[in-house]
Amino acid sequence: MPRALLRILGGAALASFLIAAFSPAVNILSYWMAPTGRSGPAQAIVVLGSGGIAANGLLTDTSMRGAMEGIMLYRQGLAPLVIFSGSPEGGPNGEAEARAELARACGIPATAIVTSSRAHTTNEEAHEIHALLGPREIRKILLVADTPGMDRATKVFQRVGFDVVPTPWSEVLDLGGFPEDRLGLLRQVAMELVARVYYRVAGYI
């Protein structure tokens, strides 16, 4: 490969790194990727799995934030039922049950909580939750997910028959953050873009 081309590629890679780490470009991209909907009354609040259980046995930050968004929506009276999804791995009962325990501690009655812990992907979550809510004739849901994955999750849940109001738990555009935070967000955005391509090719969206 010509040395000049290597210099160009190296310079482009360095410039991309500096832009991602030291500018709000990736924050804006993540915010732009998420659809928004006007929150209003629905039949259920669905909180998708995100982050799972940390090594210390507690919910990760992202999982906690998603759970708290679902709890706040319930406390605002926007739906009478909350469905917590989550990975079955980690801790004695997995992410979904840990979130349900948090919700009960926040005053949400057990009768208003449903857990789903058998799915490992967004597509599996959509089908599993549809199987849980179908017999209850629940169609309109407030869908809680992280911002980059919100658009894909919305389309997947719409495809299985839900009327979805997207409710990302990070709707506010935050232009701050440390370089390591922005690089972590860049990794998350890159993974989501790959997932979107895969889901489209697989026919999930």
CA geometry: angle 120, 123, 128, nearest 5 deg: 75
Number of other CB atoms surrounding residue 72 within 10 Å:
14
Same domain, 143 and 124: yes
- Can you name the residues that pair with 166 across neighbouring β-strands? 143
**Does residue 142 sit in the same domain as residue 92?**
yes
Question: Does residue 132 share a domain with residue 73?
Answer: yes
The answer as to whether 205 is a domain residue is: no
Both 110 and 126 in one domain: the answer is yes
Do 109 and 155 fall within a single domain? yes
The count of other CB atoms within 10 Å of the CB of residue 142 is: 25
Is the overall model pTM greater than 0.85, yes or no?
Answer: no
> Which helix (H) or strand (E) is 45 found in, with range?
strand 44-47
CA 92 to CA 34: how far, in whole Å?
33
15-60 pLDDT per residue, tens: 555 555 556 666 666 665 666 656 689 999 999 998 888 888 788 8
Domain that holds residue 178: 1-34+173-197
Q: What is the pLDDT of residue 67?
A: 94
| Position 204 in a domain | no
Q: Both 122 and 96 in a single domain?
A: yes
For the chain, the domain total comes to 2
